[in-house]
Chain A
Amino acid sequence: MSGELPLSGLRVADFSWFGAGPIAGLMLRTLGAEVIRVESQARMDGLRMTQPVPPGKEGSPNVSGYFNNYNAGKLSFTLDLSRPEARQVALDLLARSDVMIENYTPRVVQNWGLTYDEVVKVRPDIIYAQMPMQGSWGPHRDFLGFGAVIAPVAGYSHLSGWPDRLPSSMGVNYPDYVINPGHAVVAILAALRYRARTGNGQHIELAQVESVAATLGPFLLEYTVNDSVPERSGNRVAWACPHGAYRCQDGLPLPVAATLRMAASASPPPQLEDRWLAIAITNDAQWEGLLDVMGRPAWAQDERFTTFLGRKRHEDELDTHIEAWTSTLNAEEAMRQLQARGVPAGVVQSARDVLDHDEHLRERGFYQYINHAETGRSAYDGPGFRMSGAPFALGGPAPLIGEHNDYVLREVLNYSDERIAELLIGQVIY
């Protein structure tokens, strides 16, 4: 292990907010870049003010688990870009940066006077990555977004859920967390490689709806090639059967919300968590393994179930038989028995499971527990990959808002005491 992270020595000016932009910055930080999160109390990142927050710590901009998890190891520099004096500070920072990231609607960087054409004058080889929802041009360029609208517009929501119900979506703003930030990082790293060979920086535009639609390629080809419009199919797929999530014995009591726990009198009887096991049979060997674990039930000898096509034709009935079996079982125990016979099976794990009960994730040290000045010791997602040449670790806790103003003003920008005082008094650094 060389001790030097892949991107050490690179500086990223991260002007983005909410999910997709900051997570791109997080990935670059984890790879070793110095990432300066440029933010402002005058236009606070909404994630700094949202749940989850440790009970009793509400109100601080530094305690949101949502924000902290996705900004680990960055430096925070507060700059109120609505102030005219802020532009020169931003340009001075960009002149000393290799990469810029932003994810606003296009007019925002125009208002700031920080478009690519302007930034490239102070830093000719900058990699300037823009991540507007709809792109920086086109008839819908100013449409409003956020992850909640990107998934429907780009096609995920229509395909999510049961055929006989309203689309159910994925329960989270899914594209914000890996798809869009991950694509941005691939684009930025490819541009850095090109710069290393030619000396040329460039502008990158990642329109988030395009980036998401690009991950639904097979569905889109189904329409453009076959003139067929794919629909949602629940947990079923054309190439496997049985294929679903099956109810098991109930699990632990569901926790009572922290707000209710604090109200002493209310103590309803605890509801038990429903438990489900995902089982995916993709070939005859796995089917035989399933039957072995089930104890070779009589119904399965029926010729309707002996072939894949037969099982597929009678899938509803098959699912009923399987769930009658799983419903008497502990989900984890059934999973272990099936996996021991080579049958693809996995518990539908909750956050409690992945953090506290998944022995595999624990042994691999996936979740990172980091001390933070205001939240105390908190869990962070580990990196999405492991490199033999670098430690499997985040760059540190999330920054407090403005925590690194002094470092940025003095060490990065080399501003004089007078200049710094002027910016502070004028609340440009805010």
Chain B
Amino acid sequence: MTANPSPPAALEGLRVLDLTGLPGQYAGKLLADLGADVIRIEPPAGSPARNRPPFAGDVPGPNTSLAFWYWNTSKRSICLDIATEDGRALLRRLLPRFDVLIHTYSEAEVMSLGLSHAELAALHAGIITCSITPFGEWGPHAGWQADDMVVSAMSGLMTLAGYPDRAPVMPPGEQAAICGSIQAASAILAALFARDRSGAGQHIEVSQQEAMSITQETAMQTWDMRGELRRRTGNQKLLPGFGTYACADGYVYSMIGVGGFGSPLPVLFEWMNEKGMAGDLMQPEWQTALSGMDLRQLTALLTQPDKLAEMMTRLAHIEELIAAFYAAHTKEELYVVGQNRRLLIGPLNNARDIRNNEQFNTRGWWQEVEHPEQGRSYTYPGPPYRHAQTPWRIHRRPPLLGEHTLDVLEGELGLTREQTAMLMGAGVI
């Protein structure tokens, strides 16, 4: 058997030092899965990111956090305590071999650890440094404490989510960290592009608050242009057939009745009629109930809640029959049969639904990743994008704690086994 030569990677040859904590680790993954050599530098006790539940097999441990697994695919790991003089000296020796250094330290920590761009550029003029912090490096709130929910609150996104009669609700899955990481990876690649021309590196600063505030949709402009505030509306139905509905095995989101967005209501009524659930909706008066509604009219209506409520009351009969129809069918049936009729219906998929989704599976999205030390593989989520010439791929499973310490320090820096043993004894590595 001759091995197929693997296809080239887009970021072949790019080298990244990843000193991120919990927020920011996705930036390195984005680069690593495109072929960069990303080395995570962890304190000897392991990154706090390794403590994030849930754990594989529900067994807590430094190498079983599923969140750590996911955000650290294709990376390597070395243990190096940069709070020590020896640790920092080794980091300075490593630095000239790398293109990028990403971290999540506060400005005060950066100064005490000697990680400022000016200090690092003195050692390596081409280095691109990037910090990802809750509020950025300067300004009245620099250094303020925040987890992902607190950033979401301050970004202006959280106020838009949830029900009016309860507290605003945070986005799931630590989205401020994800927004910050994506912005960071974009800027890092742009800085590399600039460096190709000028030879000079630069520093990138990402404030998660700023990175996430871009997701407010129209809320900011609505205040700026009209002096109106968008607020959380929960699952308020806008029109019959427009909102979240309970179905036989979960929920579907349905957006029907707005011109330009798929088939109109009578197409849904026809389907309901075939199932004997249309009631009197085939009568002309209901058939034309929403004809003429388009996006422009709808967005105008959104600023007139009284008028919208009046319409919902007048059309309550339609709404009841649609709700009963959805409640009698599964989300998969409503999705596939509905979409084949060009009805804009989407299931609220959970993790199992996505694993079983026909489109994801036909397209081979899921990735089997070997965990050789366990003698088995696990099924990982797949690519966010597909390059035809330089395919995204998970180059290796997430690293065990310190798995590559000796490879890097002995293999690259030429430390002797005696030296690494002493450093281990001193708690540096």
What CA separation (Å) do A61 and B11 show in the bound complex? 41
Q: A201: shortest Cβ distance to chain B, in Å? A: 8
Q: By the criterion CB–CB under 8 Å, are A359 and B140 in contact?
A: yes
Residues of chain A with a CB closer than 8 A to B383's CB: 210, 214
What CA separation (Å) do A366 and B57 show in the bound complex? 44
Q: By the criterion CB–CB under 8 Å, are A221 and B70 in contact?
A: yes
- Partner pick for B204 among A138, A214, A245, A386, CB 8 A cutoff: A386
Within 8 Å of chain B (Cβ to Cβ): is A186?
A: yes
Q: By the criterion CB–CB under 8 Å, are A190 and B173 in contact?
A: no
What CA separation (Å) do A235 and B253 show in the bound complex? 22
Q: By the criterion CB–CB under 8 Å, are B251 and A166 in contact?
A: yes
- A350-B66 contact given A160-B171, A170-B157, CB 8 Å threshold: no
Residues of chain B with a CB closer than 8 A to A87's CB: none
From 335 to 373 in chain A, residues with beta carbon under 8 angstroms from any chain B beta carbon are 339, 342-356, 358-361, 363-364, 366-367
What CA separation (Å) do A381 and B10 show in the bound complex? 30
Within 8 Å of chain A (Cβ to Cβ): is B2?
A: no
Q: B150: shortest Cβ distance to chain A, in Å? A: 4
Q: By the criterion CB–CB under 8 Å, are A210 and B384 in contact?
A: yes
Residues of chain B with a CB closer than 8 A to A113's CB: none
Of chain B, the residue at the smallest CB distance from A206 is B385
Within 8 Å of chain A (Cβ to Cβ): is B275?
A: no
From 310 to 347 in chain A, residues with beta carbon under 8 angstroms from any chain B beta carbon are 339, 342-347
Interface size grouping (class) on chain B: 35 or more
Q: By the criterion CB–CB under 8 Å, are B69 and A221 in contact?
A: yes
Within 8 Å of chain A (Cβ to Cβ): is B202?
A: yes
Q: Which of B53, B169, B250 has the most CB of A within 10 A?
A: B169
Of chain B, the residue at the smallest CB distance from A159 is B172
Q: Mark A133-167, 1 if CB is under 8 A from B, else 0.
A: 01101111101101011111111111111100111
Q: Which of B26, B149, B193, B200 has the most CB of A within 10 A?
A: B149
Q: Mark A167-186, 1 if CB is under 8 A from B, else 0.
A: 11111111011110011111
Within 8 Å of chain B (Cβ to Cβ): is A203?
A: yes
Of chain B, the residue at the smallest CB distance from A289 is B145
Residues of chain A with a CB closer than 8 A to B11's CB: 190, 193-194
- Partner pick for B251 among A167, A214, A354, CB 8 A cutoff: A167
What total of chain A residues lie within 8 Å of the partner, measured CB to CB? 163
Q: By the criterion CB–CB under 8 Å, are B52 and A239 in contact?
A: yes
What CA separation (Å) do A27 and B182 show in the bound complex? 12
Binds A, one of B75-83, B214-222, B281-289, B400-408: B214-222
Q: Mark A409-421, 1 if CB is under 8 A from B, else 0.
A: 0000000000000
From 189 to 233 in chain B, residues with beta carbon under 8 angstroms from any chain A beta carbon are 189-194, 196-198, 200, 202-207, 209-233
Q: By the criterion CB–CB under 8 Å, are B161 and A171 in contact?
A: yes
Residues of chain B with a CB closer than 8 A to A149's CB: 253, 255, 344-346
What CA separation (Å) do A152 and B255 show in the bound complex? 12
Within 8 Å of chain B (Cβ to Cβ): is A42?
A: no
Within 8 Å of chain A (Cβ to Cβ): is B347?
A: yes
What CA separation (Å) do A200 and B12 show in the bound complex? 14
Within 8 Å of chain A (Cβ to Cβ): is B330?
A: no
- A157-B348 contact given A210-B382, A346-B151, A384-B210, CB 8 Å threshold: yes
Q: By the criterion CB–CB under 8 Å, are B339 and A202 in contact?
A: no
Residues of chain A with a CB closer than 8 A to B352's CB: 223, 229
Within 8 Å of chain B (Cβ to Cβ): is A246?
A: yes
What CA separation (Å) do A319 and B229 show in the bound complex? 28
Within 8 Å of chain A (Cβ to Cβ): is B325?
A: no
- A178-B212 contact given A168-B162, A226-B56, CB 8 Å threshold: yes
Residues of chain B with a CB closer than 8 A to A363's CB: 139-140
Q: By the criterion CB–CB under 8 Å, are B348 and A167 in contact?
A: yes
From 367 to 412 in chain A, residues with beta carbon under 8 angstroms from any chain B beta carbon are 367, 375, 378-379, 381-382, 384-390
Q: By the criterion CB–CB under 8 Å, are B355 and A225 in contact?
A: no
- A388-B204 contact given A139-B359, A194-B389, CB 8 Å threshold: yes
- Partner pick for B385 among A150, A187, A243, A387, CB 8 A cutoff: A187
- A364-B217 contact given A51-B299, A245-B167, CB 8 Å threshold: no
What CA separation (Å) do A350 and B253 show in the bound complex? 26
- A381-B385 contact given A186-B186, A229-B351, A351-B220, CB 8 Å threshold: no
Q: Mark B128-159, 1 if CB is under 8 A from A, else 0.
A: 00000001101111101111011111111111
Within 8 Å of chain B (Cβ to Cβ): is A118?
A: no
Q: By the criterion CB–CB under 8 Å, are B189 and A257 in contact?
A: no
Within 8 Å of chain B (Cβ to Cβ): is A115?
A: no
- A239-B51 contact given A210-B365, A282-B147, A378-B224, CB 8 Å threshold: yes
Within 8 Å of chain B (Cβ to Cβ): is A247?
A: yes
Residues of chain A with a CB closer than 8 A to B168's CB: 245, 276, 348
- A228-B54 contact given A138-B359, A350-B229, CB 8 Å threshold: yes
Residues of chain A with a CB closer than 8 A to B359's CB: 134-135, 138-141, 143, 209
Residues of chain A with a CB closer than 8 A to B260's CB: 46
What CA separation (Å) do A364 and B213 show in the bound complex? 14
Q: Mark A215-231, 1 if CB is under 8 A from B, else 0.
A: 11111111111101111
What CA separation (Å) do A78 and B390 show in the bound complex? 34
Q: By the criterion CB–CB under 8 Å, are A171 and B233 in contact?
A: yes
Q: By the criterion CB–CB under 8 Å, are B154 and A358 in contact?
A: yes
Of chain A, the residue at the smallest CB distance from B198 is A2
Residues of chain A with a CB closer than 8 A to B390's CB: 190-191, 194, 202
What CA separation (Å) do A232 and B235 show in the bound complex? 15
Residues of chain A with a CB closer than 8 A to B244's CB: 157, 166-167, 169
Within 8 Å of chain B (Cβ to Cβ): is A280?
A: yes
- Partner pick for A52 among B66, B225, B380, CB 8 A cutoff: B225
From 355 to 404 in chain B, residues with beta carbon under 8 angstroms from any chain A beta carbon are 355, 358-360, 362-363, 365-366, 378-390
- Partner pick for B342 among A140, A144, A339, CB 8 A cutoff: A144
Q: By the criterion CB–CB under 8 Å, are B51 and A7 in contact?
A: no
Q: B203: shortest Cβ distance to chain A, in Å? A: 4
What CA separation (Å) do A324 and B26 show in the bound complex? 38
- A245-B153 contact given A210-B365, A342-B145, CB 8 Å threshold: yes
Q: By the criterion CB–CB under 8 Å, are A168 and B380 in contact?
A: no
Residues of chain A with a CB closer than 8 A to B47's CB: none
Within 8 Å of chain A (Cβ to Cβ): is B62?
A: no
A360-B141, A364-B139 provided; 8 other pairs, C-beta below 8 A?
A: A141-B359, A143-B359, A219-B351, A239-B52, A240-B147, A257-B228, A388-B204, A389-B200
A-B pairs with beta carbons under 8 Å apart, 16 shown: A27-B186, A49-B295, A53-B225, A146-B261, A168-B161, A182-B183, A183-B182, A186-B186, A191-B10, A218-B70, A235-B169, A243-B147, A254-B229, A278-B149, A344-B150, A366-B213
